[in-house]
Amino acid sequence: MPYSEQTVRSVRPWSNRTFSFTLSRPQDFAFENGEFVTLGLKREGKLVARAYSIVSTPDRDYLEFLSIHMPDGPLTSQLVRIRPGDSVWVNSKATGSLTLNHVLPGRTLYMLASGTGLAPFMSLIRDPELYARYEHVVLVHSVRTAAELAYRDEIEALADAKLHYVPTVTREPFPTPQRGSDLFRSGELSQRLGLPAPDPAQDRVMVCGNPDMTRELTRHLKDAGWTPTNHRGIGNFTTELAFVVHHE
Ligand SMILES: Cc1cc2nc3c(=O)[nH]c(=O)nc-3n(C[C@H](O)[C@H](O)[C@H](O)COP(=O)(O)OP(=O)(O)OC[C@H]3O[C@@H](n4cnc5c(N)ncnc54)[C@H](O)[C@@H]3O)c2cc1C
């Protein structure tokens, strides 16, 4: 049985569409910053499980996650109700394409996230190793409403001369209303931060967003001469879908 029963330690709502929660950590559960694991709830003996990026870092004795709430979603319509002491089932194996081993070291690392796609970057920005590999790290988080800017205070506290945090809000008034992918593609992002224009020879990009945004950026990067990391080797950009769209 690859799933083990874990206990909810805490739940933290951000907005009516998003919340975070922490769980006890399965024994011997190993993972790298940026990876995801499958977790779920049992209903009438049947497990409903989905992929979740891990927000917390491997040095903690708990696992933290950032979740969407889809009112019709088989898992999250139930998961939104968990309380401390409840059970959540966690797979024993973590995996993913957003670890530090999926991009080469370089000058500036751009992390482009939309919605819950922020999750894998939270563990990465807490890792000192990240700052040893890059001169600058730019984390862009695009959401619909300001309340969905999860972990904003924590990221702002971490931001310094090396870590640049650019929150953007697209559906209510906010100082930066553009989508992060548009800011990157137009060159406005680097310009605004006083950084050189993104260059595939020196800079790296990680994307974790909704399927449209991820597809769009992948096309843009390839057209501009960037190489994705895949089975052929490590490139200068790597992507992961923050979720998959299920069609009825
Ligand atoms: C590699 C990977 C990592 C993931 N990491 C996370 C994570 O860290 N946090 C998280 O909340 N979800 C994450 N997801 C999505 C997650 O697996 C589920 O889809 C989500 O929990 C909803 O489950 P559900 O059963 O309620 O609805 P589902 O039946 O899974 O989804 C129903 C619909 O909801 C929409 N949707 C699903 N997930 C999201 C989302 N995160 N943001 C916006 N719309 C969404 C889609 O349109 C989808 O068709 C990840 C998915 C993948 C493939």
Domain count, the chain: 2
For residues 164 and 85, state if they share a domain.
no
Q: How far is CA 3 from CA 37, 38, 60, 155, in A?
A: 10, 9, 20, 32
- Considering 38, 66, 91, which residue would you say is the last residue of a domain? 91
**Strand 36-43 relative to strand 46-53, pairing:** antiparallel
State if residue 115 touches ligand 1 by the CB under 6 angstroms criterion: yes
Q: Is 200 in the pocket of ligand 1 (CB under 6 A)?
A: no
Ligand 1 center–CA 45 separation, angstroms: 22
Q: Is the separation of the CB atoms in 108 and 136 below 8 Å? A: yes
**Model pLDDT, residue 1:** 67
| Whether the CB of 235 sits within 6 Å of ligand 1 | no
CA-CA distance, 120 to 111, in Å (whole number)? 10
What pTM was computed for the model? 0.97
Q: Which tokens belong to 82?
A: 């968990």
User: Given 61, 91, 121, which residue is the final one in a domain?
Assistant: 91
Instruction: State the Rg of the chain over Cα.
Output: 18
In a domain, 248, yes or no: no
Q: In whole angstroms, what is the distance from residue 206 CA to residue 5 CA?
A: 32
127 shares a domain with 24 = no
The preferred substitution site among 243, 246, 248 for testing ligand 1, maximizing ligand atoms within 8 Å of CB, is 243
What local confidence, expressed as pLDDT, does residue 246 receive?
A: 80
HSE, CB side, 13 Å, CA atoms: give it for residue 76: 19
Inside any domain, residue 82? yes
Considering the domain architecture, whether residues 140 and 172 belong to the same structural domain is answered as yes
Measure the CA angle with vertex 37, ends 99 and 119; round to 5°. 60
Show pLDDT as tens, one digit a residue, over the chain (248 residues). 699 999 999 999 999 999 999 999 999 999 999 999 999 999 998 999 999 999 999 999 999 999 999 999 999 999 999 999 999 999 999 999 999 999 999 999 999 999 999 999 999 999 999 999 999 999 999 999 999 999 999 999 999 999 999 999 999 999 999 999 999 999 999 999 999 999 999 999 999 999 999 999 999 999 999 999 999 999 999 999 999 998 75
